[in-house]
Amino acid sequence: MATAEYSVETLVNDMRAVVADTDDDKKIIQQVIPLAQRIAKESGWIQDTFYECDPDQGFGITVLHEEADYTLLVEAIAWLPGRGVAPHDHQTWGVVVGLDGDEVNVNWRREDDGTKVGYADLAVQNEVSVGPGEVIAFLPDDIHSVRNESEKTSLSLHIYGKTLAHIDRSEFDPDAKVQRPCPKRIRKQA
Ligand SMILES: [Fe+2]
């Protein structure tokens, strides 16, 4: 018997049930991870346009769903070979699942107490390679950077508890020990 494909629409419905049930970020993440892994097993919802990247930005974001009240966000992000993004936080919970290719995620640990405006002392905590079906999750203050070290464009699905375009979050330069407002990303609608 054929089973119905798991789609972005069904994913969003399941996510709504999760966040209606609890506002504990860790519990939400635990419940969203299997949903992310489930949709990563399907490919019917993935379109060729998801692979289109902005050459200046180094990656391409396709928004698949934004809740009207700026809560849930689902987006596909493609990463050009050799490109990535500087360390940043999300100021909401996040779950990322690999779809195509491998992406190196660097998790950073903050060594200072955050009281000096514009200053941040970061150290590498660990590096994780995220491939198809593999998941990485973030709490609001977690800091990560991403690199595509492969020779082809990679693709991953990103799920957040808020629409990132509407919240103030930070980008970091670990060499200069600088914390600054995260640049607004270029996003396209599916
Ligand atoms: Fe991120």
Over residues 131-167, the pLDDT tens digits come to: 999 999 999 999 999 999 999 999 999 999 999 888 9
This prediction's pTM: 0.95
Domain annotation covers residue 190: no
- Is residue 23 within 8 A of residue 92, CB to CB? The reply is no
Terminal alpha carbon distance of the chain: 31
Range of the domain at 109: 8-164+171-184
How far apart are the CA of 29 and the centre of ligand 1, in A? 15
The Cα 78–Cα 101 span in angstroms is 10
What is the Å distance from ligand 1's center to 145 Cα? 7
Q: How far is the CA of 2 from the centre of ligand 1 (A)?
A: 35
Q: Residue 116's domain is classified under what CATH number?
A: 2.60.120.10
Taking the C-alpha atoms of residue 58 and residue 147, their distance in angstroms, rounded to an integer, is 10
Let me know if residue 74 belongs to a domain: yes
**Whose CA is closest to 63, among 145, 135, 165?**
165
Looking at the chain, the whole-number percentage of residues with pLDDT higher than 90 is 96
User: Could you tell me the distance, in angstroms and rounded to a whole number, from the CA of residue 182 to the centre of ligand 1?
Assistant: 11
What's the CA-to-centroid distance between 75 and ligand 1, angstroms?
A: 11
Looking at the 3D structure of the chain, how many domains does it have?
1
